[in-house]
């Protein structure tokens, strides 16, 4: 039995693809292991959003190839770097045996068979098969209680800095019937929370909607949300949302369905309209704030998270201050901030990357300092409150401590003196929050 080690970088879409690749290999008789040193086949599912993520791949491959052990595993590269680089990866790094694009993950065992039968430097960048079996086996799921359900793949937005439309291709929505069937199956298997995933989930528009007027009070996405809510699954989260397509009916759907969770991730990228225009985001600060106001006016406390890029070409100190003002106004529950990283092939790559590395680092740190204050204020506001937590795992440091997420996607750790803590796993229980630290809430079972 061949042993396979699979390591994943990047977004939830990659995690979901890896779950599926591992499940398909397992069903073909491969053993999926967690120790890369005893693997016959090492797979890297890669991310190319920033340059750093790409470098990580080359250093990983180099490390395996220079190791002194007897086993010389086959090395396969999957995901976004594979899709973009194709066979040029073999020149860039001699250690790689095969390359499988973002749409070819379903054919992973075919790729391995080809290489094992002597077809060196095998490449598959072909299209996804429509009828591919996307079943994820219980052993290969990232969490036994949380299931990822891709609803839309790819991206049509072409923000000027972003490589995703090139690495993942055009937007393609899955059929609503297929999605709902998957959710029903997951519920039957004991999954408590699904994450509907996609680069822009709220741009969801299946083929059956083609030709329909764009927005008649209820977008295809909010109708999908309501249909999924009707399955009765305990928790439904969705990520990532795109501001321009974030219509008020999404908040209405959340307000009307308890099992649609209190969390919206809505990347804004910058607080300056000049920068947003140069990024070709298709929204302004004013239009973004209208959406935020709608979210904040919900009777539920909906947690709001976002992404920012600092140091985009021509971003001035004034632009950056506008970003900080936006952070202060919106008081995001948390934000991911990234230093701009030029990606070859994107329109922004033609611009001069004229904010120095030193300035980018300074803005990054200043941003983090302010953001952390608001994050702390938000977390602190949960102290002495009772929250519902889906218990997902034991803490790796302390076996008496369990960990899970709230409906607003906050991590909660708590001590438990129950005889059989194991029985709490997979349950949604009430926790009284007693304190907050930088990213986590702590509490006790009520
Ligand atoms: N440089 C820096 N950050 C980027 N992101 C996407 N492309 C780049 C880039 N070239 C960030 C955006 C996006 C998140 C997933 O990654 O903030 O929302
Ligand atoms: Fe990239 Fe913009 Fe598409 Fe998001 S919406 S994946 S940032 S191009």
Q: Could you tell me the distance, in angstroms and rounded to a whole number, from the CA of residue 313 to the centre of ligand 1?
A: 14
Per-residue confidence (pLDDT) for residue 210, from 0 to 100: 62
346 Cα: distance to centroid of ligand 1 (angstroms): 12
- Is any atom of ligand 1 closer than 6 Å to the C-beta of 47? no
What pLDDT shows up at residue 383?
Answer: 98
Whether 39 shows a pLDDT value over 80: the answer reads: yes
CA–centroid distance, residue 200 to ligand 2 (Å):
8
Look at residue 215 in the predicted model and tell me its pLDDT: 52
**Mutation test residue for ligand 2: of 155, 161, 198, the one with most atoms within 8 Å of CB:** 155
Q: Which of 9, 14, 50, 51 to mutate to test the pocket of ligand 1 (most atoms within 8 A of CB)?
A: 50
State which ligand 2 atom lies nearest to the alpha carbon of 200: 5
For ligand 2, say whether the CB of 239 is within 6 Å of any of its atoms: no
Q: pLDDT of 88-134, one tens digit each?
A: 999 988 899 999 999 898 899 999 999 999 888 999 998 876 655 66
d(CA 162, ligand 2 centre) in Å: 6
Is the predicted pLDDT of residue 212 greater than 90, yes or no? no
pTM for this entry:
0.94
Q: State the distance from the centre of ligand 1 to the C-alpha of 84, rounded, in angstroms.
A: 17
State the pLDDT at residue 211.
55
Region of poorest pLDDT, from 27-41, 44-58, 348-362, 367-381: 44-58
Residue of 309, 312, 340, 351 best suited for mutating to test ligand 1, as the one with most atoms within 8 Å of CB: 309
Q: What is the pLDDT of residue 399?
A: 76
Higher pLDDT, 386 or 69: 386
pLDDT of residue 188: 96
Confidence of residue 52 (pLDDT cuts 50, 70, 90): confident
Note the pLDDT of residue 174: 93
The finding on whether 348 has its CB within 6 A of some atom of ligand 2 is no
CB of residue 168 inside a 6 A radius of ligand 1: no
The alpha carbon of 267 and the centre of ligand 1 are apart by a number of angstroms equal to 10
Identify the pLDDT of residue 400: 82
Q: Does the beta carbon of 7 lie inside 6 Å of ligand 1?
A: no
Q: What is the 3-state secondary structure (H, E, C) of the chain?
A: CCEEEEEECCCHHHHHHHHHHHHHHHHCCCEEECCHHHCCEEEEEECCCCHHHHHHHHHHHHHHHHCCCCCCCEEEEEHHHHHHHCCHHHHHCCCCCEEECCCCHHHHHHHHHHHHCCCCCEEECCCCCCCCCCCCCHHHCCCCCEEEEECEECCCCCCCCCCHHHHCCCCEECCHHHHHHHHHHHHHCCCCEEEEECCCHHHCCCHHHCCCCCCCCCCHHHHHHHHHHCCCCCEEEEECCCHHHCCHHHHHHHHHCCCECCEEECCCECCCHHHHHHHCCCCCHHHHHHHHHHHHCCCCCCEEEEEEEECCCCCCHHHHHHHHHHHHHHCCCEEEEEECCCCCCCHHHHCCCCCCHHHHHHHHHHHHHHHHHHHHHHHHCCCCCEEEEEEEEECCCCCCEEEEECCCCCEEEEECCCCCHHHHCCCEEEEEEEEECCCEEEEEEC
Q: Probe ligand 2: pick from 154, 162, 171, 267, max atoms within 8 Å of CB?
A: 162
Residue minimizing CA distance to atom 5 of ligand 1:
49
Instruction: Report the separation in Å between the CA atom of 312 and the middle of ligand 2, taken as the mean of its atom positions.
Output: 15
**406: CA distance to ligand 2 center in Å?**
27
**Structure confidence at residue 376 (pLDDT):** 96
Identify which of 102-111, 217-226, 232-241 has the greatest average pLDDT: 232-241
Distance 49 CA to ligand 2 centre (A): 10
Query: Is residue 317 pLDDT above 60, yes or no?
Result: yes
Name the residue of 49, 54, 167, 348 whose CB sits within 8 Å of the most ligand 1 atoms, as the mutation to test its pocket: 49
pLDDT at residue 1 in the model? 87
Name which residue sits closest to atom 4 of ligand 2, judged by CA: 199
How do residues 13-36 score in pLDDT, each as one tens digit? 999 999 999 999 999 999 999 999
Report the nearest atom of ligand 1 relative to the CA of 348: 10
Q: What is the pLDDT of residue 135?
A: 80
Q: Is 12 exposed, middle or buried (0-12, 13-18, 19+ CB in 10 A)?
A: middle
Alpha carbon of 316 to ligand 1 centroid (Å): 19
- The fraction of the chain above a pLDDT of 90, given in percent, is 82
Question: 360-417, pLDDT tens digit by residue?
Answer: 999 999 999 999 999 999 999 999 999 999 999 988 777 788 999 999 999 999 987 7
pLDDT of residue 217: 66
pLDDT value of position 15: 94
Does the structure show a pLDDT above 60 at 213?
no
Binding site membership of 242 for ligand 2 (Cβ less than 6 Å): yes
* Residue 418 pLDDT: 62
Spacing, Cα 437 to ligand 1 middle (Å)? 27
Q: Ligand 1: which atom is nearest the Cα of residue 240?
A: 18
Q: Which ligand is nearest to the CA of 349?
A: 1
How many angstroms is it from 343 CA to the middle of ligand 1? 10
Average confidence score pLDDT of the chain: 93
């Amino acid at each position: 039995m061949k042993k396979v080690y699979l390591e994943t970088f990047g977004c939830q879409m990659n995690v979901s693809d890896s779950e599926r690749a591992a499940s398909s290999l397992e069903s073909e008789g491969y053993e999926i292991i967690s120790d890369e040193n005893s693997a016959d086949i090492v797979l890297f599912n890669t991310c190319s959003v920033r340059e750093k993520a790409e470098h990580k791949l080359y250093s990983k491959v180099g490390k395996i190839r220079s190791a002194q052990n007897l086993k010389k595993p086959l090395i396969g590269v999957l995901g976004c770097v594979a899709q973009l680089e194709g066979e040029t990866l073999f020149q860039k790094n001699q250690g790689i045996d095969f390359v499988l694009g973002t749409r070819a993950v379903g054919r992973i065992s075919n790729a391995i068979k080809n290489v094992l039968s002597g077809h060196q430097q095998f490449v598959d960048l072909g299209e996804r098969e429509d009828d591919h079996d996307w079943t994820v086996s219980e052993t290969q799921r990232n969490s036994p209680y949380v299931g990822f359900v891709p609803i839309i793949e790819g991206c049509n937005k072409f923000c000027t800095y972003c490589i995703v439309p090139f690495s993942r291709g055009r937007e393609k929505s899955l059929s609503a019937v297929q999605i709902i069937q998957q959710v029903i199956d997951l519920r039957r298997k004991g999954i408590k929370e699904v994450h509907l995933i996609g680069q822009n989930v709220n741009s969801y528009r299946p083929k059956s909607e083609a030709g329909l007027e764009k927005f008649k009070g209820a977008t295809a996405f909010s109708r999908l949300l309501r249909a999924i809510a009707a399955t009765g699954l305990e928790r439904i989260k969705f990520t990532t949302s795109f501001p321009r397509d974030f219509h008020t009916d999404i908040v209405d759907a959340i307000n009307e369905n308890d099992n649609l969770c209190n969390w919206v991730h809505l990347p804004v990228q910058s607080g300056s309209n000049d920068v947003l225009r140069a990024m070709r985001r298709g929204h302004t600060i004013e239009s973004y704030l209208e959406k935020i106001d709608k979210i904040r006016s919900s009777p539920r406390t909906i947690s709001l998270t976002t992404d920012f890029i600092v140091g985009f070409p021509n971003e001035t100190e004034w632009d950056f201050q506008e970003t900080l003002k936006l952070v202060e106004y919106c008081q995001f529950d948390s934000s991911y901030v990234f230093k701009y990283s030029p990606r070859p092939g994107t329109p922004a790559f033609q611009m001069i990357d004229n904010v120095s590395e030193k300035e980018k680092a300074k803005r990054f740190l200043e941003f983090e300092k302010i953001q952390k204050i608001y994050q702390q204020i938000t977390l602190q506001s949960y102290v002495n409150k009772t929250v519902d937590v889906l218990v997902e795992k034991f803490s790796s440091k302390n076996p008496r401590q369990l960990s899970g997420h709230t409906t607003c996607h906050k991590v909660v750790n708590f001590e438990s003196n129950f005889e059989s803590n194991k029985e709490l796993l997979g349950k949604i229980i009430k926790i009284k929050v007693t304190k907050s630290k930088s990213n986590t809430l702590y509490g006790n079972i009520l």
